[in-house]
Each structure stands twice: as C-alpha cells, then as structure tokens.
Structure 1
Amino acid sequence: MTETFGPLSPALVLIAAGLILPLLKEPLRNALFLLAPAIALALVWMLPLGPGLVVDWLGLHLVPIAADGFSRIFGTAFGIAALAGALYGVTQPSATEKAAALVYAGAAQGIAFSGDLLTLFVFWEILAIGSTLVIWSNGNARAGLRYALIHVLGGVLLFAGIAAEIAGSGSLSLQAMRADSVGRWLMLAGILVNAGALPLSAWVADAYPKASWSGAVFLSAFTTKAAVLVLIRLFPGEPALLWIGLAMAVYGLVYALLENDIRKLLSYSIVGQVGFMVVAVGIGSPLALAAAALHALAHILYKSLLMMAAGSILRATGETRLTGLGGLARAMPETAAAMLVGGLSLAAMPLTAGFVSKSAIMAALAADQAGFYWFALTAVSAGSFLYIGLKLPFFALSGPERARVEIQPTRSMRAAMGALCLLLVASGCFPGWLETLAPEIAGVPILTADHILFQLQMLVGASCIFAFLLPLLRPSLGFTLDVDWLWRELPHRAAPRWRRVRGLFDKAGADFRAEARRSWGSFSQRSILRLGAAGNWPTGKIAFWATALLAIYVLIAAL
C-alpha cells in the first residue's frame, strides 16, 4: 500500500468533533460545537485543488481527498450551513443531537471531497446514520425508522451499482457516465432516493418536520444537496434527469401550496427546488452544472434561514400550523424579517441570492434551447412565490394572534438568522463572489434592467393570482394524501381483508399439510425397511430424487 498524505480533511474534523462532543461538559461542548464547523470551513479553502491523498489498496486506486471547483462550492455551502446551524442551535440541550449534527455535516463534507466511489459510499452511509440520529434525538423513533429504511434502500441500490461498475470496469474513479447498464441504473436510482425524487419524495416531508426546532436546520442543508453533487459528478447530461427534475419541481410546488404545516411546507419546497438543480444537471453543459451548484449553495442558505424561522416559531409557540398562527410580525419581528428574506430569495426576488442562481439555470436552459423546460420552470418559479412569498407571510405573520409567544429567540439564534439574511442579500446585490466560485456564469445577464423587470412582472402576476385564488389557498386542518400512503396506510386498510383471505388459505393448507405428513410417514417407513434389508432402489426412483435434488440446488444457486 502506498500513501501520499495531504492536508487535513474538513470531514474528519467534524466527525471527530461529533464523536468527542458527548464526553465534554456543557461549556466545552458548546465551544467545540461552534469551533469545529469554523475550522472545517477554513479547511475547505486551504485544500489545494487536485488529489490530496492517494492510497493503493487491494489493487484499487483510492482517493479519499480530492478538491475541485464543485468541491469548493458545496464545501463552502456545507461549511456555512454547519456553522450557522451550530450558532442557531448552541442552546439546544440535547448532546446527542449536537454530536449527530456534526457527524452529519462531516459526512456531507466527505462526499464533497471524495475522489473515488468507495470513499463516496462510506461517507454516504455515515450521512444516513448521522441524519437518522438527528431525527431520533428528538424522540421520534418511528419517523426515524421510516427515514432509515428509505436510506437503507438508497444505500443498497448505490452499493449494488458501485459493485457492478467495479466488476465491469475495474475502476473506482469518479467520472461522468451514462445510465447505459443495469449497474449504472442502480447507482442512479440510489442517488435519486437521497435527492428526494419521485416516487419516494414523501420521505422529506415525513422526516424533516419530526426533528427538533434546531435539528431541522441541519437536515434541510445536507442530504438532498449532497445527492445533487454526486449527480453532477457521475451523471451530467443524463436525459432522464430532465423529466425527473421537472416532476420534482411540480410535485414540490403542488404539495407546498396545499400544506398547512410550515415545516412540512418547507420540506415539500426542498423537493421542488432540488428539482431545478436536477434539471440543470440533466442539461449537462458547463454553464448548467455551475448553475446547479450555485443554486444548491443559495438553496442551502435560504432554506436554512427559513427552517430557522420556522424553528423559532415552534420553540416560541409550540405551533407550526398556519391555521393556528397569525400576527407574528408584531410578536416576533426578527423572525418575521428572516422569513421574508428567505422566502423572497427562494422566490428569486431581484437582489437576492436565489435570483442569481435561478437566472443562471434559466440562462443554461435557454442556451441549450430547452424551451419546454424553460417555460415549465419559469411557471414553477413564479408559483413558488404563491406559497413562500404570499401564503406563508399572509397567514403566519399578519392578522390576529392565534398562538401565544412564550419565548423570544435567543441572541445566538438571532445572530445566525441575521448572518444568513446578510449573506443572501449581499450575494444578490454583489454577485461577484458567486462568479468567483463559478466563473462559467460570468456572462449571464443578471442585474440588467430588462431581466429585473421581467422577474418583477412575474412576481406581480403571481400576487394577482394569489388574490384571486385566496379562498382556495387558505390553509385547512387535516392532512395531505401523499405517495407514502401506499406503504404506510394501505397495508393497515388491507389487513382485515387479508386476514379473511389468509384464513381460507390456512384451512386449505392445513388439509394439505396433514395429507403430506401421512404420505411422508408411509414413505419413510418403507424406505427404512428397504435400507435395513439392503434392498435395491428402483432405477426410476433414483433418477427422480436425483433430479429433484439437482433442481433444488440450481434454484438455490440462482437465488
């Protein structure tokens, strides 16, 4: 085994801190919780471009650390999210959640800087473990178990695809490929499970709202965006991603418009916004891939901010349903401001980070002459303003107070929300640093008068539609039927009928088993007597049993 050691990985810093953190007392625990993400963010920019660690193991070429432009973008986004999430949740009393959150963030950094498929898979599984523990730390065992089962499925699919790729090519390198074999389709399916693609998108809205007021901030930042990065590396330009991404965008829009719970609404919105990134990856041009990466960064910033605002509301009132909220603009002005800034950035309001990243995606679609996807995503983008820029503020921030505010956000929570607000607005007003991260978008017209005017017209049009459809968009009590009903509720509904059908089979099976036991007893007695007398077996029976045993063996081998 040969090794070349390079700089320290930000993933190892965060994972090691997460493992040590539960052993420390409160002051040191909080200090480490804040310090580890800051060190990891600094290391993202200290890592030189190219492979930093090379290992030859059992004839396989492993590159545990490798940095490129996409690593920098996603590593920066993950680092900011981890640092802001730690600052926001530093007062969270659960040491388990804090430790799991650091391990979770470290796994995301590990995926960002993986240079081979095996390293990628190891961090992929650590990502699933860390996120599951974040959910479990809030006492939601059933939601955590459902989440874990979905990600076990994704991990199994990914591992099967990687194994098939190694068997076919003998290489572990992370390189662009097409889904042109069973193994690569399995790999793509495993990645899409983590991205929240249909028909398994419901796990996002099922799991994320079950986390604590601080845990949901971490959950919103890492899993789906890490999957987008892996799609960029492995399947750029894959045609199937165009339709998959568009379906995700429409699904997220429809369910967010229907949802009453703020955190479930934001979770559905995650699926929809990741759909934009998946479509861009499906285009596959350098501009489209850079736009997908920048939209992932912007999405991590504004979705973390929105989850912080929702968490502050939950912590203060114990309520996240729009039907139970109102008047929060007066009762919680800092939280209301954070929700507005995050929502306007998601809706691509000019002078916000979301406007920059979505403009880059639309420019990539236009350059590729993908007119249908351009019009479809433009409509979805305008529709997102209905639920995030109008519905959410209208029913939660305005009107009479329906839920009493028991406690205001702490100074650290306000500082985290304020920092993200500043980043989102500064990135929209001065997009130069985003162009530094992704030089491919430098030629995209963003802060031009006609482009800003077009976007404002879209938002005004969405506002008129909201006023017209207000009775239909008004939230109501109840739950929204989603695809997960098929495996969560349908078995319970079908159980009574299944018991009746099984009873009929059991009766018929009991008669068959009794007859089989009588026949086998008679056969055994005759066979024992014949063996004891050293009698010869007829040739026909020998051939029959030999053939039967061979068939059973072949069947077992095939399975």
Structure 2
Amino acid sequence: MTSSPALLLMLGAAGVPLLRGLPRRVLMLLLPVAGLVVLWLLPEGPGAGIALFGLELTPVRIDALSRLFATGFLVAALLTTIYALHLRDPLQQAVIPLYAGTAVGGALAGDLVTLFVFWELAGLSSAFLIWAGRTERSYRAGMRYLVAQLISGLLMLAGIALRIQAGEGLAFGYLGLNGPGDALILLAVGIKCAFPLLHAWLTDTYPEATVVGAVALSPFTTKLAVYVLARGFPGTDLLIWVGAAMTVFPIFYAVIENDLRRVLAYSMINQLGFMVAGVGVGGALGVNGASAHAVADMVFKSLLFMAMGAVLLRTGTTKGSELGGLYKSMPQTAALCMVGAASISAFPLFSAFATKSMIMEAVGQEHLTVVWLLLLFASAGVFHHAGIKIPYFAFFAHDRGHRVAEAPLNMRVAMTLAALICVGIGVAPNLLYELLPHPVDYVPYTAPHVINQLQLLLLASMAFTLLVRTGLYPPELRSVNLDADVVYRRVLPRGWHALSHAVTRLRRALGPPLRHRGRNLWSATTRPLRPEAELATPWSTHVMVWWAVFLLGTVLLLALL
C-alpha cells in the first residue's frame, strides 16, 4: 500500500490547501504525474497482503485491466488539474486529486473490502464538487447525490457480508450472479453506472456542479463502475439488454433538453450503455471494447464538459435557448469542442471510431441482431445530440449577442491536450490496443467500416439539417423535463405532504371528541377516589377490623391452596 499511486494522490491532496500560488499549482500538477510514474513502475501481480480482523486484504493488484483503468484515471486527473489551475478555491483543487485517488485505488483493489472503502470514499469526496457551488440548488443536489452514493455503498457492503458469511472469500475477481450477495453487488454497481431507472442522480446533480466540478465528475465514478463490471461480471447476459436500453432512452431526453450540460449527462449514460453491453457480451473482444471505450470516454467527455464549462464561465449559462454565435468570441473553444463532438460521434480518425466499433463488432459476432440495431440507432442518436446539437446551439445557432473573452489559457491548454489524445487514439489506435487486457485481433480501419460509418454520420447530419430547416426540430425552450428523479423530487415529497395534511385534518376532526370522551372516562374512573366520594370518608374501627380479617383470611386460603 505504501507504493500505491492512490495513496500518493490522497496524501498529496492534504497538502494542496496548505500552499498558495505557484507552489500549490506545482504540487497539483506533480501528483497525477508522479502517480503515473509509480503505477508503471509497479510489477504485475498482487502486492503485499494485509491481515485485518482475520481477513486477508490485497490493497494493490496490478494486471493489464487494472493498469489500463488506473492510467485513464490519472490522465483524466492531470487534464482536470490543468483545467482548474485558474481557480482560487482550495476546496475544489484539493478534492480533485483526492477524488482521482479513490478511483485509482478502486481500480487497483485486489479484494472486495478495499474496493468498498474506495467506492465509498469516491462518493463522499466527489459530493464536495457539487457543494462547492455554494448555492441552495447545489447544496440540495449534493445531498441527493450523496444519498445515491451511500445507498450504493450499503448494497455493496451487504453483498460482501453475504459472501463472507457463505465462505466465498474476499478476492475481487469474477463474481457473476450465482453466488450469495452477487446480485446486491451488481445492483450497487448499477446505481453508480446509471442503469435505467437508477440513473436520475447523474442527470440531476452533474449539471449543478461547478464549472470545474462537472469536468472532474465525468471521468471517475461511472468509469470505476464500468471497471467493476468488467472485472466481476463479464459475459453476464443481463448486461447486454441493460446496456442496449441505456444507449437508447437518453437520446430522447437529450434532444428536448435545453441545458447543454444536462445533454452531456444524458450523453454519458448513452456511452456507458455501449460499455455495459460490451461487458455483457464478454469474451476478449467485448471486454477489450468496453475497456477501450471507457478510457476514450474519460477524455472526450471531459473535453466536452470543459468546453461547456468555459461557456458557462464566460456567459453565465449553458442554456441552449440563451446561447449562439459564440464562435465569434470563443473560436478556439468552439474548435476544440468540435473535436470532442467528432470523437464522441465516432468520426474516422477520432477516438470513439477505434473503440466503439469493437463493441459493435463483438455484438455482431454473437449474432445479436436486435441489440446491434439498437446500438446502431444509438450511434446515430449520439451524433445527433452530442456531435451536432451541443456545438451548434452553443457556438453557431442564432447569435444572442454574447461578446465575451476567450476561455482562460489553462482551460484552453487542458482542452488542447484532451483533443490531441482524442485524435491520437483515432489515428494510432494500436497505442491504446496494446494496453488492453486481452490480445487484440481487430482492425478498425477497413473500407466497409469507414464507408458505413461515414454513411451513418452523413444521414444523421442530413436528418438534423432537415428537421431544423423545416422547424420540426424541438426548439430550445426554458423548461424542466421530468425524468425518474420526479419520483423522489416531486412524487414522494408531495405524497408526504399529502399524508401529513391528511393526518392533521384527521387529528382536528377526531381530536376534540376523543379528548372529551377521554375526560369523561377519566372522571368516571376516578370518581370513587375523590374527597367527597364514599371511599374517601373516614371508616369506623370495627369496619377496618373486619376488612383486615377478610384480607388476611383470603391470603391464608390462597396459601393453603
């Protein structure tokens, strides 16, 4: 544990608030870089074990899968740190390495107890990135976020306890759904991975985070959940259909959503769906595809959140109805946003083209025709809402008159580095393929694949253009779209208030007569004991003697019996 990059980041985060100015920035940049160095110097295999309360723990376990995800987390941490260098908020700057360290620790965990500890720490630390907004909305959103994370942790803890009770051990390897507690662990992961109906915490809270907070939230929690799925549940058929549903339903919400950061939150669920489906298919190609796409998503989704964060910083809004024409004021941000849009849309020479296609190929090889068609539809949908809608309405739609400064230099540097990584993965995918957990026998740049993908993107762009030109595309309106969070944000509070009012009315209706009857009953019961009652008057001596004889005789008779 002493050589764990996770511990390095978490301990280093404690020193960030103690420094100011240049020393603080230097420390922030050194932490993820040092973490990468330590990670790649560690040899493969389980690290030294720790005995705790009779349990054998393995805090660090290095193999290809854990090293890949930990590398992705550290790269994302470095990009987020650069993006946050302009801040004067030590809270956010300290939370970033702490949060990244928990994700790295979870990826390197060799046992379930260590995984649970980092799982919970990730949820607790990341909540501060929402509370850092220091508004009533961000406080309430952070509390809802924290509740979701704690529920996930409790479910995982219950699953681990059942496994220990059944003698299954603590090793964090393949779990499946056959052992005791495995279903609870999968449900816990499903919450953090935003499974359908369990996803509302993500779209509810991410848009309420700070400019930097939303960027920091995007790569870690959900991708740690994907890692746990890839490690513990590969080849689980249920995940194929869960993933397919995740790719499709967010599209419809994203199309009608006005807040562009919330559009990105729905887009995140869409991309997670591809990863979940790949894990469900299993095998070398499925797990490789899910893992590669997770790492690519850490970068291009961060890039898109960075671009929208820069827009929010300069204009004070990310509402599509209030934006447009920003390419005149923020041309560099607009160009970098388009790189992120091309990457998430799987344009050739951009990252998702080399990663998402592996998942599609894995599904096709299993002859899952319906799932493949759903993923194909979702691929067109993500280009529609993330590849076109976000840059179009933010930078190129009707000019709203915003004349602002370009994003701060450090933000542009972070976005540029993220864009270079997106292009690098797309141009030279073998650099990523060599890090995958299984040998890769897949070539993305074949003529049929390139032609089919370009046809898909062309038709999707033509459909968008036609809908906009004909006025059939849903307009960007100031509105609130109801999602599954309506259950705990509207239905449950209103139900509680209705029940409270009903109880109050019932109390007012029944209270007076019940109190009146109670007083009458009490009066009747205590009447013989009142001073003027017969029992309260003085008794003669011979009457008291007879009562004493009677009571003594009764006691003797009962004793003889």
Please report the TM-score for the alignment, with normalisation by the length of structure 1.
0.89
Q: Are positions 1:54 and 2:49 aligned together?
A: yes
Paired residue for 2:91?
A: 96
Aligned to 2:207: 209
Residue matched to 1:412: 410
Partner of 2:235: 237
Equivalent in the alignment of 2:489: 488
1:242-285 CA-to-partner distances (Å, cap 9, x unmatched) read: 22212211122221112111111101111111111111111121
* Change in 2 beyond 3 A, CA 1:464/1:180: same
Rg: which structure is higher? 2
Matches of 1:388 and 1:269, distance apart in 2: 7
> What is the percent sequence identity of the aligned residues?
38
Q: Residues of 2 paired with 1:442 and 1:321: CA distance?
A: 42
What SS does the aligned partner of 1:56 have? Answer: strand
CA contact (8 A) 2:346 2:353 kept: yes
Q: CA deviation at 1:341?
A: 0.6
User: Do the aligned partners of 1:329 and 1:398 also contact (CA within 8 Å) in 2?
Assistant: yes
Is 2:196 the counterpart of 1:198? Answer: yes
CA distance in 2, matches of 1:210, 1:407: 23
User: Partner of 1:131 in structure 2?
Assistant: 126
For 1:62, give the aligned amino acid.
Answer: L
Q: Are residues 137 and 524 of structure 1, via their aligned partners in 2, closer, same or farther at CA, if it must alter by over 3 Å? A: farther
Partner residue of 2:376 out of 364, 375, 378: 378
Question: In the alignment, is the contact (CA less than 8 A) between 1:360 and 1:441 conserved in 2?
Answer: no
Q: Kindly tell me: are residues 327 and 512 of structure 1, through their superposed partners in 2, closer, same or farther at Cα, counting changes over 3 Å?
A: same
Matches within 5 A, 1:218-257: 218-257=216-255
* Structure 2: gaps spanning 5 or more residues: 529-550, 556-561
Query: CA separation of 1:403/1:228 partners in 2, compared to 1, >3 Å: closer, same or farther?
Result: farther
> Superposition pairs for residues 438-457 of structure 1, below 5 Å?
438=436, 440=438, 442-457=440-455
Contact 1:319 1:403 in 2 (8 A): no
Q: In the TM superposition, what are the counterparts of 1:220-369 in structure 2 within 5 Å?
A: 220-369=218-367
Cα offset, 1:401, TM superposition:
2.8
The partner residue of 2:66 within 55, 67, 71 is: 71
Alignment deviations for residues 335-377 of structure 1 (CA, whole Å, 9 cap, x no partner): 1111111111111111111111111111111222222211110
* Structure 1 residue 418: Cα displacement: 0.7
CA shift for structure 1 position 209: 1.2
Q: 1:525 to 1:361 in 2, by over 3 A?
A: farther
Cα distance between partner residues in 1 of 2:258 and 2:396: 16
Contact 2:64 2:437 in 1 (8 A): no
Q: Displacement, 1:169? A: 2.1
Cα distance, 1:301–1:524 mapped onto 2, change above 3 Å: farther
Cross-structure match for 1:168:
166
Distance 2:204 2:194 in 1: 11
Instruction: State which drifts further: 306-315 or 54-63.
Output: 54-63
Structure 2 residue 406 is matched with structure 1 residue 402: no
Gaps of 5+ in 1: 527-532, 537-559
- Name the CA shift for 1:513/1:165 in 2 (closer, same or farther; >3 Å): farther
CA distance in 2, matches of 1:42, 1:512: 76
Give the distance between the partners of 2:47 and 2:523, measured in 1 at CA.
70
Q: Secondary structure at the match of 1:61?
A: strand
Superposed, 1:183-194 pairs within 5 Å as 183-194=181-192
SS across alignment from 2:181? helix
The alpha-carbon distance between structure 1 residues 150 and 509, as it changes in their structure 2 partners (threshold 3 A), is: farther
The Cα shift of 1:79 comes to 0.7
Aligned equivalents of 1:186, 1:523: Cα separation in 2: 56
Closer, same or farther in 2 for the Cα pair 1:443/1:490, shift >3 Å?
A: same
Deviates further, 471-480 or 14-23: 471-480
Work out whether residues 445 and 451 of structure 1, in 8 Å CA contact, stay in contact via their aligned partners in 2. Answer: no
Aligned equivalents of 2:401 and 2:496: distance in 1? 40
Matched position secondary structure for 2:49: strand
| Contact in 2 for aligned 1:191/1:227 (Cα 8 Å) | yes
Tell me if the contact between 1:327 and 1:401 (Cα under 8 Å) persists in the aligned partners: yes
CA distance in 2, matches of 1:518, 1:28: 79
Q: Distance in 1 between matches of 2:458 and 2:31?
A: 44
Name the structure 1 match of 2:33: 38
In structure 2, the CA distance between the partners of 1:57 and 1:510, relative to structure 1 (3 Å rule), is: farther
- 1:147 correspondence with 2:136: no
1:295, 1:392 → 2: CA distance? 21
TM-superposed deviation, 1:59: 2.4
Q: How does 1:106-125 map to 2 (within 5 A)?
A: 106-125=101-120
Q: Deviations over 1:29-84 (max 9, x none)?
A: 22111111111122221221111221122321210000111111111110110000
Structure 1 residues 502, 429: CA separation in 2 closer, same or farther (over 3 Å shift)? same
Letter in 1 for 2:297: H
Q: Whole-Å Cα distance in 2 between the matches of residues 517 and 487 of structure 1?
A: 43
Amino acid at match of 1:135: I
Q: Which one-letter code corresponds to 1:165 in the other structure?
A: R
Equivalent position amino acid for 1:131 in 2: S
Task: Give the whole-Å Cα distance in 2 for the aligned partners of 1:280 and 1:180.
Answer: 20
| SS of residue paired to 2:172 | coil
1:16 shift after superposition: 0.6
What is the Cα deviation at residue 508 of structure 1? 4.5
Which letter maps to 1:212?
Answer: T
State how far apart, in whole Å, the 1-side matches of 2:525 and 2:167 are.
Answer: 54
1:336–1:502: structure 2 CA closer, same or farther, 3 Å change rule?
Answer: same
> Do the aligned residues in 2 keep the contact of 1:280 with 1:364 (CA within 8 Å)?
yes
Aligned to 2:504: 503
User: CA offsets, 1:111-133, max 9 Å, x none?
Assistant: 01000000000001110111001
Give, in whole Å, the separation in 2 of the partners of 1:19 and 1:407: 34
Q: Distance in 1 between matches of 2:59 and 2:519?
A: 59
Superposition deviation, residue 520 in structure 1: 10
CA contact (8 A) 1:291 1:441 kept: no
Return closer, same or farther for 1:126/1:525 CA change in 2, 3 Å cut-off: farther
| CA RMSD, 1 decimal | 2.5
Q: Does 1:17 align with 2:12?
A: yes
Aligned-partner SS, 2:211: coil
Q: Matches of 1:486 and 1:40 in 2, distance apart?
A: 41
3-state DSSP of counterpart to 1:221: helix
- Contact 1:161–1:187 (CA<8 Å) still a contact in 2? yes
Pick from 461, 476, 486 the counterpart of residue 463 of structure 1. Answer: 461
Between the two proteins, the alignment pairs up a number of residues equal to 526
- In structure 2, how many angstroms separate the alpha carbons of the residues matched to 1:52 and 1:515? 74
Specify the alignment match of 1:478 in structure 2. Answer: 479
How many Å separate the matches in 2 of 1:202 and 1:455? 31
Question: CA 1:518–1:245 in structure 2 vs 1: closer, same or farther (change >3 Å)?
Answer: farther
Q: Distance in 2 between matches of 1:525 and 1:204?
A: 66
Distance in 1 separating the partners of 2:498 and 2:422:
54
Could you say what secondary structure the match of 1:479 adopts?
Answer: coil
Relative to structure 1, is the Cα distance of residues 495 and 357 closer, same or farther in structure 2, using a 3 angstrom cutoff? same
- What amino acid maps onto 2:424 in structure 1? A
Deviations 1:192-231 (A, max 9, x none): 1111112121111111111111111110010000001011
